[in-house]
A and B are shown apart, each in its own frame.
Chain A
């Protein structure tokens, strides 16, 4: 593989994405959208109701039950415990950022080329199809991961500002490390590959995004389950999820390489 050629296309894609609000705005909106609910529940709703979380009793039982499974909550009590529990549970929403950002950016990176009819001249260069596939995934990967980490930093920063003392420290746990450093890149990679495969058959970014956005469903289901207290996403569960995603990524890579064959792109992509 020639890194110079991969870098040439990745740089070009980055320059195009920066100039394409249609691709970047959904990703930025998702950052805001993933942060908002946790603060609404822990800070906004009690302010509107005029009662603390402890006084209202919301999530009190779930938080108390979770202490056994989440050692980082040990030592907290009252509103601080409930806030820490809710912030932990809502952290999973941040995993929607890599899905939505990767989808928005990758579909534009691939379908944009199709719409501009720029793929044929690109394929007429010495670039290999594997290099092209890597290049097409690189820029959305870096952008989406940066946005995910930005969302994570804003989340912790927000908790530091509005949360009860000590709550923010509980977020900096093994759970968060696995989520942001291992799970998020794997989620992103899977999303990118699905986006590229779907984009090869779609003629406009929106239809490709609609199909790829189905990937938010598994995350949403796990989020709701754990919010209802029936399930706590422990580091063990997260690592199991990462292993499953690694396998899924390997399968998707095999499919992606076939979809990215020169002849397939020129003769079958529509």
Chain B
């Protein structure tokens, strides 16, 4: 089993009298992608900022690559993290190359020019290196921002809404890049509102609404605390849903229905969608 590169233990963050995040524990292993879902104001960005070493938790602890984050270690810990912020935040008057070169120097890389060329190739923006950042499309800006987050080869990558506002092709491209990070052995935490994207990308899904409501694989979340439901469709166009305790119960139900004269055309598992799970946890009004 791969080592946990990012470990948060009972994190709480309070701003004044408002609790933004309460008692959150999660870990992300090398080569794992965890999606962080939650409604607006659920504490996702605060969580990301704490995990990136930008703000300190009011209570609880964080270890980045096994080093606990403290006020003394935060500067060094940030060197192990690549953070993609919600807005690309590029310096729009400067070229893509100068944007990235500045970050390569800030990260203290010995060969900043080479690092920029490598990461531009990685995100497939090499041909736009000398363009002014402000003149790029939103999708290209997001790729440059991702390049900025990856320029120092961080073992931990935190992505805040990486495909928000992108057209389908650009979003696909960014998702492919994120998927590639798993193969590179990075521990990736993606905050998103896009449930389909979370389901497609993530090994595990965390659902947050100030507190962590669930953290598991998609399959486990769908079945969590529920009996197995099957949808049975009949030749006359009608259908019915039966609930069973276990899959071996299904043949018996089918046999009984056939004996009763029903003509069955299809029996399929009636799975709860991730959306059902999400809404049941956070509430419909969220």
Give, as a whole number of angstroms, the nearest-CB distance from A105 to chain B. Answer: 14
Give, as a whole number of angstroms, the nearest-CB distance from B65 to chain A. Answer: 14
Residues of A within 8 A of B (CB): 2, 4-5, 7-9, 11-12, 15-16, 19-20, 116-128, 262-263, 266-267
CB contact list, B62-80 vs A, under 8 A: 75-76, 78-79
Which single member of A15, A121, A128, A262 contacts B148 (CB below 8 Å)?
A: A121
Which single member of A12, A120, A262, A266 contacts B91 (CB below 8 Å)?
A: A12
Contact between chains at A117 and B87 (CB < 8 Å): yes
Least CB separation from B71: chain A residue:
A262
- B269 lies within 8 A of chain A by Cβ: no
Contact between chains at B55 and A124 (CB < 8 Å): no
Size bracket, chain B contacts = 20 to 34
- C-alpha spacing A116/B89, complex, angstroms: 5
Contact between chains at B54 and A5 (CB < 8 Å): no
Stretch from B101-109, B174-182, B259-267 contacting the other chain = B101-109
Least CB separation from B105: chain A residue:
A8
Contact between chains at B89 and A8 (CB < 8 Å): no
Contact between chains at A15 and B98 (CB < 8 Å): yes
- C-alpha spacing A122/B98, complex, angstroms: 14
- C-alpha spacing A262/B54, complex, angstroms: 7
Contact between chains at B106 and A5 (CB < 8 Å): yes
- C-alpha spacing A20/B91, complex, angstroms: 12
Contact between chains at B85 and A16 (CB < 8 Å): no
Q: Hey, what's the 0/1 contact readout for B99-131 against A, CB within 8 Å counting as 1?
A: 000110111100000000000000000000000
What are the nearest 9 A-B pairs in CB distance? A8-B105, A117-B87, A124-B83, A118-B89, A125-B106, A19-B93, A12-B102, A117-B89, A120-B85
Contact between chains at B102 and A16 (CB < 8 Å): no
Give, as a whole number of angstroms, the nearest-CB distance from A59 to chain B. Answer: 47
Least CB separation from B133: chain A residue:
A116
Which single member of B53, B79, B94 contacts A16 (CB below 8 Å)?
A: B94
- C-alpha spacing A238/B106, complex, angstroms: 40
